[in-house]
Amino acid sequence: MRTETVTLAPFEAHHLDGALALSRAAGWAHRREDWKLIWSISEGRVALAGDRVVGTALMTPFGDTCSAINMIIVDESQRGRGLGRQLTTAVIDLAGDRECRLTATSDGLPLYEKLGFVATHQIVRHQGVVGRVGAPENVEWIGADAMPAIKALDRAAFGADRDALHDALAKEGPFAVVRNGDNIVAFAATRPFGMGEVVGPVVAENAEQARDLIAFILSGKEGRFVRIDVPEQSCLSSWLEGWGLVHEGGVIAMVRGATGESQTPQVRTFVLASQALG
């Protein structure tokens, strides 16, 4: 039996439709618009069998210090040939000296461990049709003039510069904030995603602020399908389930080349922008 020749190439705009077909075959919820958002702030590689996309991987840089390795898919017909390792290694090389973060399924865990990634915690996916949620009075929608404060809070929580991500998110949906006097101390974003909408990231000083931000956003989404990805230590799961967003699996957060710096930020990430982006 003749083996099909597969080559790696830079991930360009005309590969998006092929990438979408791969993710649909894998059961992912992503629309073309969701792929395009991540691709627009990333570098990547595709595996090509002729003109057909049979594998993808992206590296999203966050400043000069950190990156997310994401959107790694291999066509079922090409699995077991080391293609996933080739794609992942290729985008790790694109990251250069940056710390690399990713989320892994249990199936992908052995490969990533061999490539030097270390598991750090679980990410829990909550999704479903939103029930009736009351809107807290301490949260408000904000305009573009608040983006510098939001970006600063995210840098403090995430530990790296994700300004390009927040510029992209601002084009997709609104941000809500909690203030202490005139100062913005917590924020949340929402946007269309997959078969419905997603909430995230949510950055706050404590779980109560995070809960209020999420409740404020969900109060306008009764009857809609919403997804929220939270770190297991967020202490939000019981609230989310009470609002109609049931626990439906999750992934493992991993890191490679961590700096090891010990910091205790004043704010932290309670909800991810997405599993791909952290």
How many angstroms separate the CA atoms of 132 and 120, rounded? 34
Q: CB neighbours of 84 closer than 8 A, spacing ≥ 6?
A: 55, 72, 74, 108, 111
How many angstroms separate the CA atoms of 101 and 99, rounded? 7
Report yes or no: 43 and 59 within 8 Å, Cβ to Cβ. yes
Instruction: Return the closest-CA partner of residue 194 out of 154, 162, 229.
Output: 229
Opening angle at CA 197, ends 225 and 215, nearest 5: 80
SS3 category, 7:
strand
C-alpha distances (whole Å) from 124 to each of 127, 130, 203, 275 are 10, 17, 17, 10
- The DSSP element (H or E) to which 117 belongs, if any, is none
Environment class of 91 (CB within 10 Å of its CB; exposed 0-12, middle 13-18, buried 19+):
buried
Q: Positive or negative, the Cα torsion across 264, 269, 273, 274?
A: positive
Let me know if the fold of 7-97 is the same as that of 126-271: yes
What pTM did the predictor assign?
0.94
pLDDT per residue as tens, the chain (278 positions): 346 799 999 999 999 999 999 999 999 999 999 999 999 999 999 999 999 999 999 999 999 999 999 999 999 988 888 999 999 999 999 999 999 999 999 888 999 999 999 999 999 999 999 999 999 999 999 998 899 999 999 999 999 999 999 999 999 999 999 999 999 999 999 999 999 999 999 999 999 999 999 999 999 999 999 999 999 999 999 999 999 999 988 899 999 998 755 566 799 999 999 999 99
How many angstroms separate the CA atoms of 255 and 226, rounded? 28
Extents of the domains making up the chain:
7-97, 126-271
How many angstroms separate the CA atoms of 86 and 57, rounded? 10
Report yes or no: 16 and 35 within 8 Å, Cβ to Cβ. yes
SS3 category, 119:
strand
SS3 category, 155:
helix
For the chain, give the longest Cα–Cα distance: 71
Characterize the bridge pairing of strands 99-104 and 66-74: parallel
CATH code for the domain defined by 126-271: 3.40.630.90
SS3 category, 108:
coil
| Class for the domain spanning 7-97 | alpha beta
Cβ-based neighbour number of residue 76 at 10 Å? 11
Residue type, 162: R
Opening angle at CA 27, ends 120 and 123, nearest 5: 20
DSSP code at position 76: G
